[in-house]
């Protein structure tokens, strides 16, 4: 063991007499504020109402009853609402901290994906109805009118390109296609959404019937776009740069933990000011010539121990596999902390923590952060003893918190984690909060299982290691 990182091993153990959250672990992550998210939802709802109102009031009776009037009206209405929803989709993935702390990244992505078909469908409807309406007004054929709109109005041409990009992103995001693409390629394609929105902007303001001759509407809408761009740039680029510069993390040691699993220990400045809760994760960007362009999510496998941080990674592919050969001194950029898989989510006094495979990383730091009164029952599922990494630390923490540890080790068909086994290990499961962490399939199997044993939805918290 390196003498430089020896201090990192001094984690809370059975013998330590520390306060609930060791002072050396730095500042706890702030508690989520669901009321603030509800208020934000009200604002978003009001914005949608205003958009609908604008579309309705901008239309005069004469315009509506003219040739093509109803189709143009439907076209501008669907365009306005579709664009508004597209901005909301962007905001959902802009990593606004107070929203992220309540909904978590996976919750936000669920909303983002659930909303996605609406803006795209509404914008396609917008293009069709506007073309039909103008064709009726000009007594033109549909294709001829489409040619006129695209050929004579540069803003429409640009917006058509934008719609094409959005549709392509929509197709690529279909689950069946997304799963076949390397994650980085899918992510790069997804970034084109920002370009599409920027391209669409001008034609909305310049040509939208709700905007032409309505300077106040133009101003309000422009402010909404600028605010969205500001939020995205601030939280996705600005804040990570500031945090990276402030904490100046670098690799000090890569330590083997088990088959294909390494812990990476980083040293940084001012880590006591990094507000982080156990169970949270960062997006890590290791600044080597081959890896600097990829940011991957890995949980902290222990609370910060200033000046050190630790993550523990299993080789699951290109990026995770290459971390074993990181050289000491490698600089690291961070985004985060993210995640709602924390002690703040706890509803009941006691807790049950279940991890499958490498899910022990988030469980380990969450366990460290849980109050002793949680009397945590911890269940670890691993395919072999060697695969149960961080075993000693977890055992010590469980002992320290006066909890119970159950190890379910072996082949899935023999060492089963089913309803009967869970009910036997945790007879009071219905009176506990249940935290589940691990590979996507493991989490998907466990959530219905604990529900069937009487755990309320709001007491089930999970972090699947795939987004
Ligand atoms: C919130 C969260 C916390 C995680 N914490 C840990 C941890 O503490 N330790 C650990 O070993 N692993 C953790 N993971 C999983 C880890 O992010 C992936 O194993 C890793 O990114 C795989 O990348 P790769 O290039 O090595 O493999 P690839 O072959 O590219 O991918 C393997 C699988 O990992 C998933 N994946 C790949 N890239 C990403 C990405 N950027 N974001 C989300 N999922 C991705 C995909 O589902 C893919 O099927 C976590 C994942 C998430 C979402």
**pLDDT for the residue 207:** 73
Percentage of the chain beyond pLDDT 70 is 94
Let me know: does 93 contact 109? Beta carbons within 8 Å. yes
Which of 190, 444, 466 has most ligand 1 atoms within 8 Å of its beta carbon, as the pocket-test mutant?
A: 466
**DSSP characters for 43-100?**
HHHHHHHHHHHHHHHT--HHHHHSTTHHHHHHHHHHHHHHHHHHHHHHHHTS--HHHH
Let me know: does 206 contact 216? Beta carbons within 8 Å. no
Q: Three-state DSSP class for 118?
A: helix
DSSP state for residue 12 in the 8-state scheme: -
Task: Read off the pLDDT of each residue in 124-150 and give the average, rounded to a whole number.
Answer: 94
* pTM, 2 dp: 0.89
Which uninterrupted H or E stretch holds 229? Answer: helix 215-232
154-200 pLDDT, tens digit per residue, is 889 999 999 999 999 989 888 888 888 888 888 888 889 888 988 88
Q: 159 CB contacts (<8 Å, ≥6 apart)?
A: 199, 200, 202, 203, 204
**pLDDT for the residue 356:** 94
| Residue 210, CB-side half-sphere exposure with 13 Å CA sphere | 23
Q: Three-state DSSP class for 437?
A: strand
Note the residue count of the chain.
467
- For residue 312, the cross-strand partners are 263
Q: Three-state DSSP class for 322?
A: helix
Position 64 confidence tier, pLDDT thresholds 50, 70, 90: confident
pLDDT above 90 (res 259): yes
204-237 pLDDT, tens digit per residue, is 777 776 777 777 777 878 888 899 999 999 999 9
Q: Is the CB of 281 under 6 A from ligand 1?
A: yes
Distance 392 CA to ligand 1 centre (A): 25
Which uninterrupted H or E stretch holds 147? Answer: helix 142-152
Q: Three-state DSSP class for 31?
A: coil
Identify the structural domains of the chain with CATH numbers, from first to last: 3-29+243-338 (2.40.30.10), 59-236 (no CATH), 343-464 (3.40.50.80)
- Candidates 365, 437, 435, 377; CA nearest to 401 is 377
Could you tell me the sign of the dihedral formed by the alpha carbons of 382, 386, 388, 391, in that order? positive
Let me know: does 436 contact 416? Beta carbons within 8 Å. no
Distance 284 CA to ligand 1 centre (A): 11
Looking at ligand 1, which residue's alpha carbon is closest to its atom 39? Answer: 296
Q: Is the CB of 317 under 6 A from ligand 1?
A: yes
Rounded distance between C-alpha atoms, residue 152 and residue 148, angstroms: 6
Rounded distance between C-alpha atoms, residue 463 and residue 467, angstroms: 10
pLDDT above 80 (res 409): yes
pLDDT above 70 (res 1): no
Rounded distance between C-alpha atoms, residue 331 and residue 247, angstroms: 11
């Amino acid at each position: 063991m390196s003498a430089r990182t020896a201090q990192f091993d001094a984690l809370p153990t059975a013998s330590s007499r520390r306060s609930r959250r060791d002072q050396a672990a730095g500042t706890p992550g702030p508690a989520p504020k669901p009321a603030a998210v509800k208020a934000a939802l009200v604002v978003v709802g009001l914005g949608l109402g205003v958009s609908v109102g604008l579309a309705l009031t901008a239309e005069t009776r004469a315009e509506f009853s003219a040739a093509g009037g109803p189709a143009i009206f439907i076209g501008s209405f669907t365009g306005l609402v579709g664009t508004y929803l597209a901005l909301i989709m962007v905001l959902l993935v802009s990593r606004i901290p107070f929203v992220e702390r309540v909904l978590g990244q996976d919750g936000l992505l669920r909303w983002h994906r659930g909303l996605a078909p609406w803006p795209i469908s509404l914008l396609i409807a917008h293009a069709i109805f506007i073309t039909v309406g103008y064709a009726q007004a000009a007594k033109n054929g549909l294709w001829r009118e489409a040619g006129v709109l695209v050929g004579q109005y540069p803003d429409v041409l640009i917006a058509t390109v934008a719609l094409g990009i959005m549709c392509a992103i929509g197709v690529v995001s279909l689950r069946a296609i997304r799963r076949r693409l390397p994650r980085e390629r899918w992510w790069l394609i997804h970034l084109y959404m920002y370009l599409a929105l920027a391209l669409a902007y001008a034609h909305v303001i310049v040509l939208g019937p709700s905007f032409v001759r309505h300077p106040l509407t133009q101003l309000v809408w422009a402010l909404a776009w600028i605010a969205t761009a500001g939020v995205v740039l601030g939280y996705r680029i600005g804040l990570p740069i500031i945090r990276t510069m402030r904490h100046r993390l670098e690799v000090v040691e890569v330590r083997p933990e088990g088959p294909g699993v390494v812990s990476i220990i980083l040293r940084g400045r001012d880590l006591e000011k990094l507000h982080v809760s156990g169970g949270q994760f960062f997006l890590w960007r290791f600044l080597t010539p081959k890896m600097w362009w990829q940011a991957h999510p890995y949980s902290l496998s222990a609370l910060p121990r200033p000046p050190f941080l630790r993550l523990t990674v299993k080789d699951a592919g290109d990026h995770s596999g290459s971390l074993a050969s990181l050289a000491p001194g490698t600089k690291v950029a961070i985004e985060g902390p993210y995640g709602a898989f924390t002690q703040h989510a706890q509803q009941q006094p006691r807790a049950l923590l279940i991890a499958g495979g490498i899910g022990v990383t988030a469980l380990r730091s969450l366990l460290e952060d849980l109050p002793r009164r949680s009397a945590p029952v911890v269940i670890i599922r691993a395919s072999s003893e060697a695969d149960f990494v961080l075993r000693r630390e977890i055992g010590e923490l469980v002992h320290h918190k006066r909890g119970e540890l159950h190890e379910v080790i072996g082949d899935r068909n023999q060492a089963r984690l089913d309803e009967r086994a869970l009910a036997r290990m945790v007879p009071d499961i219905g009176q506990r909060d249940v935290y589940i962490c691990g590979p996507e399939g493991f989490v998907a199997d466990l959530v219905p299982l604990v529900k069937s044993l009487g755990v309320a939805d709001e007491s089930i918290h999970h972090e699947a290691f795939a987004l």
